[in-house]
A and B are shown apart, each in its own frame.
Chain A
């Protein structure tokens, strides 16, 4: 659980940094190469913008080693995500599941899927329509942090809710 707290505190630092310099919408560095959908992200100060979803609410939750259960902190983030999705029906989401590099390739693919599905089920339980939420697993194929220490592993064991243009959007 120390790792989880560490991950979350690092995440918070990122948030502060992202917020303090972000009247623009340059979120690429923050999100990494595979997590951005092809939509304009808008301004973080606009509460209906994807930038707000990504940087203020938080588009990702983190997991303990070989675990797919949601921490209290993760549930709080997902509650915010769910409320946002209920308000902003022009967006759907692809839920990406990831694992750290400390596992075999096949198992990590399955683990990423299990994590993504846990998040999907949670969002559905908060009222989001099933049809708005797809999942995909990248296993250990798309680390966002590349050091070989727990500080990076904790940030790679993640599920990212990637917004996509909804049917009506």
Chain B
């Protein structure tokens, strides 16, 4: 089930029916500034996309639903139900009756068509700024195999989101995570992969071997994870196109874990335990060269690269409890950045470079939080019995994490939350789920 290869990237053909200069000249009021924290979601209308030629009606309907769910799921948009519509859109290229959409306060209008072409679906869409009486950006066309209809819908939603917020989208992305079944004392864990919204789940390993904390490569083609397959925990690399995996470290008397790719995709940073002491190392996948980055008797773990590849944030208990530190890629210029009450763990550098997400344990509660790279402006976004394993959406505006409920029947599930702390939502999965890792936007 690899979509990345056969989804011959949507031939991104601007439609030829738009007066581009007029659209650009309009300074549009249709704009959401995410940073300000949105109180009132922007109302939009998305009439079911028009079915063209012989395409079955389910595709236009389902594609319209996925687009609407993507947008409303952000908490930034509110869909106006079809029952409120005054006019219908029956002709994609006809001019829009803006007055009819203004009357129901639809600030944005999304129209589209779905056609079939051989084994492919062809999806076209246009976005209108209703109160400016104009189109926002150009119409776009996506072409892909029928089985990838969800991806095409996500791409439309990403375009709409991006045009209105000015930020990159995050809907056409995937999550690798640990699927959990069985009682709390006998958990069985498998690596699993799914779309960002919990759809299209498939499994990468069986339940025989304990596996932990998978991480996507920058290109989304490989997964790093920790497995007990050879006895002690060892870091592994799995190729998604072949499902083949290999162990990356197997020196005797050690345990290796908590691996993560550098932005170049060819360097891996990880923790190596030897004689009870855990330090951070880097491994060059091209030449096998290993470099030790931290030393001393403390537990140094959970390293994460800055997006420019120049620095690493990690956790260490060198000062007593777990705290966050930043160092250069060579292990120098170490600086502690967390100073608040409690224990800080699993720091993750934002893809935008501006923030560090972390989990925090304080006074019997766990939190997901963010702070600036220098440790300032710490904000806690969640609170529960146990929240851990934050991972960033590709646009650095949303964080997914794992939450475990308390007690004998305690179970892990995945949640997302905005960096504003709003819009906390569960991501539905077929079984328990932990250790999420969010991919980059698919190409």
Interface, chain A (partner B; CB < 8 A): 32-33, 66, 68, 101-107, 109-111, 113-118, 120-121, 135-137, 141-148
Shortest CB-to-CB span from A139 to chain B, Å, is: 8
A143 to B410 alpha-carbon distance, docked (Å): 12
B345–A137 CB distance below 8 A: no
Stretch at the interface among B37-45, B100-108, B132-140, B274-282: B274-282
Shortest CB-to-CB span from A65 to chain B, Å, is: 11
A148–B233 CB distance below 8 A: no
B212–A105 CB distance below 8 A: yes
Given A105-B388, A105-B435, A109-B233: A146 touches B184 (CB 8 Å cut-off): yes
Shortest CB-to-CB span from A122 to chain B, Å, is: 11
A142 to B186 alpha-carbon distance, docked (Å): 7
A1 to B173 alpha-carbon distance, docked (Å): 49
B361–A146 CB distance below 8 A: no
Interface, chain B (partner A; CB < 8 A): 183-187, 210, 212-213, 231-233, 255, 257-258, 271, 273, 275-278, 299, 301-302, 315, 317, 321-322, 343, 345-346, 359, 361, 385-386, 388-389, 404, 406-408, 410, 434-435
Q: Which residue of A lies closest to B299 (CB)?
A: A110
Q: Which residue of A lies closest to B434 (CB)?
A: A105
Chain B residues contacting A113 (CB-CB under 8 Å) are: 255, 273, 276, 278
A143–B185 CB distance below 8 A: yes
Chain A residues contacting B343 (CB-CB under 8 Å) are: 103
Shortest CB-to-CB span from A159 to chain B, Å, is: 11
B301–A110 CB distance below 8 A: yes
Identify which of A102, A106, A136, A142 gathers the most chain B CB atoms within 10 Å of its CB. A106
B185–A144 CB distance below 8 A: yes
A114 to B271 alpha-carbon distance, docked (Å): 13
A146–B258 CB distance below 8 A: no
A135 to B302 alpha-carbon distance, docked (Å): 21
Given A106-B301, A148-B407: A116 touches B276 (CB 8 Å cut-off): yes
Shortest CB-to-CB span from B150 to chain A, Å, is: 31
Chain A residues contacting B435 (CB-CB under 8 Å) are: 105
